Amino acid sequence: MISEGRCTRSKKEEIEEVSVDAEGRKESSGSGGSPEDVVSKGNREGTGEEKSSLEEKRSLRRIALPLPGHEVSRASPQYKRMLEKLNDEVELYKLHVKHYHMSPAQFRRRTSMLGLPGEIYDKYDKIFRTCRVCSTSVPTPPRARVAGLRASSFRDLIFVDHEEIKFGSKAYLALVIIDGATNLLWATALTSLEAPETLNAFRQWTEDNNCVPKGIVGDQAFFTDQFMSYYKFHGITP
């Protein structure tokens, strides 16, 4: 009997130990699980954090961009107010002066996305044509090309001409020389249009600028025999 009691007790103890081990395994699986489970769980949590950070960045980017419905439509009061200002020639002229007398091509390029009507561009073209500053200071090409000659530096090519300046009842003669590369204007008074006096003016230009021109462009009055001999002596290409 004693042996049977001991056997029954040992069996009960074994059953209790098995139940305790099973509960411990359940708790371990519920709390942390195996190392592989822990790693996979950590990776899932990490990916969740990365997704949340990406979503935050995307939300910030969306806020930085113009949201739908916040664009200025053509039916909005702001757009109509802008059209009213641009339809006024005084406002267009102010805009023209404010942007340093920009050309009509620049104005079209800067306002290409606004969808302005054609009448505004026509008014701006009219303002550009009637602008005193734009009509008197037309930009010249950086290089003058005449008869195959090219002016890339000072004295490469000069343009010469006789001018008559009227002041009251009197008229004065002058020789005008313009450098083709720099547009430098040089002029001197003359008493007559004779070749010797004009050649003396050429010598004065050479002394003032400390150089001899390589090429010269002018009308037929500057290509007589006296002028041609002067050009040949100094190596000037007529």
Could you read off the pLDDT of 164-178 as tens digits, one per residue? 999 889 999 999 999
Range scoring the smallest mean pLDDT among 9-18, 58-67, 169-178, 182-191: 58-67
As a whole number, mean pLDDT of residues 58-83 equals 62
What is the model's pLDDT at position 10?
Answer: 57
User: pLDDT of 78-128, one tens digit each?
Assistant: 888 889 999 999 999 999 988 888 889 999 998 888 888 999 999 999 999
What is the model's pLDDT at position 238?
Answer: 87
Q: Per-residue confidence at 137, pLDDT binned at 50, 70, 90?
A: low
What is the model's pLDDT at position 21?
Answer: 55
Which percentage of the chain shows pLDDT scores above 70? Answer: 63
Average pLDDT over the chain, rounded to an integer: 77
Beta strand pairing call for 149-150 and 158-167? unpaired
Q: Is the pLDDT of residue 146 over 60?
A: no
Can you state the angle between helices 195-209 and 225-234, rounded to 10 degrees? 20
Classify the C-alpha dihedral 143-145-150-155 as positive or negative.
negative
What is the model's pLDDT at position 159?
Answer: 94
Rounded to two decimals, the pTM is: 0.42
Q: Is the pLDDT of residue 67 over 60?
A: no
Range scoring the smallest mean pLDDT among 64-78, 166-180, 214-228: 64-78
Q: What number does CATH give the domain 145-234?
A: 3.30.420.10
Q: Is the pLDDT of residue 70 over 70?
A: no
